[in-house]
Structure 1
Amino acid sequence: MRIAVVGLGVIGAAAARSLALAGAEVTVFERTAPAAGTTGTTFAWINSHQKNPLPYHELNVAGIAEHEALQGPGGQWFFRGGNLEWAHPSGQAHLAAALAELRRRDYPAEWITPAQARRLVPDLRVPDEVSDIAWYPLEGHVLPAALLGRLWGEARDHGAVLRCPEEVVAVTDEGGRARLTSASGESECHDVAVLAAGRWSEGLAGESGFALPMADPQAAGSATVGLLGYTAPLATRLGRVLTTPELNVRPEGGGRLVVQGLDLDADADPAAPPPPDGAHARELVARLRVLLAGAEGARLESLRVGQRAMPADGRTAAGFNDGGSVYAIATHSGITLGPLLGRLAAEEIVRGRESPLLTEFRPGRFAGVDKGAFAPLAPARFAGQQ
């Protein structure tokens, strides 16, 4: 089979890898550069934390297992260090309910004390009023560029080729094959086209004859945007994810950390990214100094506005159009789900094996539905929501 993949973020690279391993002839089209979309601006927290409804939770649990299986011994991009979370008194009931729900689903989650938390993160500073901390040992984080390198490297090893920069502006179903048209006006046919275009998915899917409404990735302060700070190297000890009321933090390698204050996301605007030494940066750094010993000299090397790829109903979409020549993948949880969705897509495309994990997530659910019928997605404003 000749298969085109549109987009070289984690989703596109995972699909290209699995398709090439399955024996397909794979060509990837990338409009600017690898990881130029959401993959380059993501908190990259691997979890199935408050992922509802149940089929979405189960999909994310399978996504975590896929990372474990793919990494194997000696991996350099997935770190299952677990996640520590606590809440203000006003949010404690919400956190307790979320943890109880996870335990009913047999998801590893438990309460630990501040002393136990400090044994896990020696430089952690727990507020005096916090007595109970949620511990999720199954969770972890990814270094997105390293993950992309692993996936795309193995795709290349098995014959996949990259055409970059080359922008695909239309994908149409033509007699059961997919015709791709580029910005230069050139066009060519492939047996199947995989749309892994992230926040650009809606337009391309529409050209191929099926609806894939996406939440607006440009809407300032919405659920699709958020601020991510990247620190200079710090002499602090952190090998796990922290999700706290004031700050979410994960390691980025080389002593660098990624920091996120969900309440500050209300000011995130892709049209006006804040400077790395402005008011938002100073606030993130101040919160980090309170949270971790060894962060006294912290500064941000960059402050980015992340733009999430989110189908309009907030749920993953993965599957064929009616003609069977265009397969779309769009999801908010792209880092957690990327390797799994790539493998399942390849099995469905090359082997014709439909996955029961994807039954609830077919793009066909959008057929005939007016995009205006979807209420705006609620922005993440407290720990565990994003």
Structure 2
Amino acid sequence: MNTRRKFLKDTAFATLGIGLSHHLSLAQTFNPSGTNLVSQTANPWIELSANAYLKNVQLISKMAQNKPIMAVLKNNAYGLGDVQVAQILDQSAHIAGFALVKDERCLALRGNGVSKPILLMGDFNEDLGMDLVNNAIALSAFSLESSNKIKKLASESNKEVLVELYVDTGLGRMGMPYSKGIGWIKELVATPNVKITGLFSTLTTPEDFARTQIQRFSNIIGQLKDNGILPSRLHMAPSLSLLDLPESHFNTVRPGILLHGTYPLSKMDQAKNVPLQPTYRLKATVIRMEKLRKGDTIGFSRFYKVEADEWIATLPIGWADGYYSGAENGAKVLINDTLYKVVNVNASHCNLSIGPEKSVVVGDTATLIGPDRPEITPEGFGKLAGGHNYLQIQYKESIPKFVHDEFL
């Protein structure tokens, strides 16, 4: 057996050596009773609320006129744990399936008990092709080269190869250009063992051009129908278009950031009408408390200068862990029901200004992102740090995740 394939089978299929913190099993990950305390060795860590996720997908489906959802869990669900989030959403009747961009992550979901359909939106390694087929992972045909790989795989397989057609309607970075027509699709459909299960595209942000893309997508659908080709799943609406362009919904929507209770833009009218819930808390334990003197500075670049004697707390999380470095421009952190300003972020640590009194001690728990206060919700963080809402969810896979029915 190919060494790479054997390695993947030994890791991704067993207990998910990449991305599932501390090799947690499904039983260990879920916590109906709320008694699964965070490991004392985890610092920092992420806590997920299963009920918040399930309520969010119900609201998202309602926003989309009850259309089913293909949940985009790319980039390890923005660092929140693709397996953990998929295990939660696999329970929901509103979820039609999951979309990822890496072949290994698709297999990791299936190897950890996720049963709903899975779409690989990106390329696949030929060494993993048969594993993808055997695990009913739908492959994307997004170029002539990818179509040829799929045809070759189908010729070697004794099972149907599930395929979704990825058409580029104007994004320009992925998908078969719509201008090439449907000749390549007809060839793929005629290939034995190939089953076309969907057609999708990706929208740009400007609404006027997005509408042009929607028309192009509709034209492709019409051409396919004229040739007796009827993909069952039609989708192109990401989170932003799901909110702003109802005509982009087709028969399935494809949100990503909305699943986690975060809107794609910091100021959206829909946030007032659709109360999505933040689904996670990013937490850490204070590891150092020291009183700095007036004139002292923090960091290699001496970013923060102490104007008067004050206590400074250190948390063991920094930009190398995915915590946004711009947090030092005004973001806040919650400790013991009090908000403290972030004054420095480096690769491995961040520092908080506690003030002239020692109101925090080593061992106290800090919540950097969470639903507890408006200032530390994803939107609140984005506003204070001066960045968009995607900045606060790009955490590294190494941060442990703990799932509870409700936040503790």
Larger-gyration structure (1/2)? 2
TM over 0.5, yes or no? Answer: no
- TM-score, with structure 1 as normaliser: 0.28
Higher relative contact order (CA 8 A, sep 6+): 1
- TM-score, with structure 2 as normaliser: 0.27
